[in-house]
Amino acid sequence: MTVKFTKDHEWVRVEGSTAVVGISDYAQQQLGDVVYVELPEVGRKLERGKEAAVVESVKAASEVYAPLTGEVTAANSDLTAEPARVNSEPLKGGWFFKMTITDPKQLDGLMSEAQYADYVTGLG
Amino acid sequence: MTDQPLEKTPLHALHLEMGARMVPFAGYDMPVQYKTGIVAEHLHTRSEAGLFDVSHMGQLRLDGPDAARALETLVPGEIQALKPGRMRYTLLTEAGGGILDDLMVTNRGDHLFLVVNAACKADDTAHLKRGLEPRVKVTPLPERALLALQGPKAAAVLARLAPAVATMPFMSAEAQSLDGIPCLVSRSGYTGEDGFEVSVPADAADRLARRLLCEAEVKPIGLGARDTLRLEAGLCLYGHDIDRGTSPIEADLGFAMGKRRREEGGFLGADTILRQLRQGATRKRVGIRPEGRAPAREGTEIIDAAGRAIGRVTSGGFGPSIDAPLAMGYVEIAQAAIGTAVALMVRGTPRPARIAAMPFVSHRYYRGPAANS
C-alpha cells in the first residue's frame, strides 16, 4: 500500500478502511532522540489539521496533526515503553495511531512519496 | 529575529566537517548536536570524554593592583582571598539584587581572568568598565577560543599532552603548553563531571581540537547535550534559571557569596540580597522530578496539591543518565522542601511531580590526589 505525506511531516498508510499514521523519517531526524510520545485515546474524534498527538525529543515538544478527519481505532502502545522506535523505524514500528477515514477525498490532498521527497528537499 | 549575520567560532569549519547540525545561539552559529545525537553524546560524556566548543563565551582580563578589591564591588564572591591559580564561581549582581550574569573568576597572579556567558558578554564588559575603570583595566579577549574537555577520561586524555594536569584539583587553573600551544588550563566545567576548560589562542584552536579528537576516548559534543548534562548536574543556565528578576538567595546560590562578603556587603544589590539572606526569600529554585515519562518544559506552571499556582519551571527536559524527565524551577518557599508533592501543568493537564534534591546526578569533581585516592 502506498504511503502519503502531509506538509507537517505526518505519513498515512491506508489499510482497507483504516489509515495508519506516523511521522516521516525527515521529521524524526529533525526532532532527534524521541523520549516521550503522547497518543490519542481510542475513540477520540480527530479533525484534519488539528492536534492529534505529541512527540517529545530531548530538546522540545512537537505536535502531531491529524492528516485526515476520523476516529482513533488504535494507538501504538509500544511507543510508551520504547519511544525511540520513532527514530529507529519511523514508517514501521514507530507508527502512532490508526484511524477511520471519514472522507476518502481528503487523501487526494496529500503528497505522494516522490512529491514529499521534493518538498523536503525544498526545505533545505 | 535580527538580520545580523551569525558569528562563527574558530572551530566552525570543523563542526561542519564533523556533520554538526548548526543552530543560532547567542549570536553564534553553533553545533547543537553531531551525527550520533544528543542522548549518545550525553552518555559518552558521562562515561568517556566529550569535547565542547564554548568559544562563544566571553573571556576577559582585569589588570590593576586593586583588581580583586574593585571587582568585589560588583560581585558577592570572595575574590580578595582567592589564591593565585585558584578560581571561583560568582555572580554579577545589580543594584536591585537581581543577577546580571554568572561567571568564573580566576586569580592569575598578576591579573584576574574572567569567563562570562556569550549572550551577556557585551553588557558585562560595559558594566565592568563602568564599575571598575580607571582603577582597573578591563580587556576583552576575543582573540582567544575556549574548549571544554569533560568526562571521567578527560584527565587521562589531557595528561597525554601535559602530564601536570593530572593532579590539578577542581577549580584550579594554570598555564600549560598543549601540543606546543600556550594555553590556560582550568579544572572546571559545566557537566558535573571531572574535566577541563582550555583557553587557547583562536588561531590554534582548530589544531588543538583536532589533536584532542584523535584520542580514542574523545568525541565532539554539541550544545544540546551540554544543556542536558548541566541540568542533571543541577547547574543554572543564565537567562533561564537565573536573570535580573532572580536574586542569588532565591536562586539558592549562596555558595557563590563569600562568608566575609555576607557580613560586610559592599557589592551591588547587597541591601536587598543580605536582607533576603537574614529574613529568607519568598521563593526558591528547586529541582523537580516529574512522575512518569512526560517532560515539563521551561515555562510550565507548578501547582500545589490544592491546585494553586506556586511557581514555574525554568529549565526542563529529559535526563539521559537518569533516563527520566527532570526540571528546575522556582516555587514558594513553603513548598520547596525536598519530597513535596506538586503538579506540573503540561498541556492543560496537572501531572504529579516531586520537589527533588539537586544535583540529579552526583558531581564527580577531582579534588586532588589525597581527596580522590
pLDDT digits (tens, 9 = 90+) for B77-122: 999 999 999 999 999 999 999 999 999 999 999 999 999 999 999 9
Q: What is the pLDDT of residues A82-94, one digit of tens each?
A: 999 999 999 999 9
Tell me chain A's radius of gyration from C-alpha atoms. Answer: 13
CA distance B8 to B24: 10
What pLDDT shows up at residue B52?
Answer: 98
Best of A26, A29, A31, A33 to disrupt the B interface (most B CBs within 10 Å) is A33
All three cell numbers of B373: 585516592
Query: For B320, what's the count of Cα atoms within 13 Å in the CB-facing half-sphere?
Result: 25
Of B269 and B370, the one with more pLDDT = B269
pLDDT tens profile B128-142:
999 999 999 999 999
Q: Does B295 contact A38 at a Cβ distance shorter than 8 Å?
A: no
Question: In 3-state terms, chain A is what percent helix, strand and coil (to 5)?
Answer: 25, 35, 40
- pLDDT (0 to 100) of residue A124: 73
Contact A35 B318 (CB under 8 A): yes
CA distance B170 to chain A (A): 29
CA B202, B206, B211, B214 dihedral sign is positive
pLDDT of res. B2: 55
Mean pLDDT of chain B: 97
Q: Which residue did the predictor score with more confidence, B225 or B372? A: B225
For residues B3 and A75, the model is more confident at A75
Residue-wise pLDDT tens digits, B208-248: 999 999 999 999 999 999 999 999 999 999 999 999 999 99
Strand-strand pairing, B173-178 and B144-150: unpaired
pLDDT bucket at B144, cuts 50 / 70 / 90:
very high
Query: What local confidence, expressed as pLDDT, does residue B370 receive?
Result: 74
Name the residue ranges covered by the structural domains of chain B. Answer: 12-54+143-232, 282-356
Segments in B254-368 forming alpha helices (H): 259-264, 270-279
Q: How much is the mean pLDDT over chain A?
A: 96
With bands split at pLDDT 50, 70 and 90, how would you rate the model's confidence at B358?
very high
Q: Is the pLDDT of residue B373 over 60?
A: no
Q: Record the cell numbers describing residue B11, joined without a space.
A: 572551530
Query: For the residues B24-52, what does the mean pLDDT come to?
Result: 97
Segment A65-74 mean pLDDT: 98
Q: What ipTM describes this predicted complex?
A: 0.90
Residue B35 forms contact with A (CB below 8 Å): no
Architecture per CATH, domain A3-102, reads as Beta Barrel (2.40)
The pTM score is 0.96
Strand partners, B61: B113, B139
Residues of A in contact with B37 (CB under 8 A): 32-33
As a whole-number percent, the residues of chain B with pLDDT over 70 amount to 98
The CATH class of B12-54+143-232 is alpha beta
% of residues, chain A, pLDDT over 70: 99
Nearest CA in chain B to A28: B37
Interface of B with A in 209-238 (CB under 8 A): 224, 228
Q: Where are the domains of chain A?
A: 3-102
- Residue A1 — pLDDT band, cuts 50, 70, 90? low
Residue B349 pLDDT > 70:
yes
Is the pLDDT assigned to residue B372 strictly greater than 90? no
Strand-pair category, A61-65 with A51-57:
antiparallel
For B3-19, the pLDDT digits (tens) are 679 999 999 999 999 99
Q: How many CB atoms lie within 10 A of CB B313?
A: 27
Fold of B282-356: Elongation Factor Tu (Ef-tu); domain 3 (2.40.30)
Q: Closest to A59 (Cβ–Cβ): which among B224, B294, B320?
A: B224
**What is the pLDDT confidence band of residue A3, given thresholds at 50, 70 and 90?**
very high
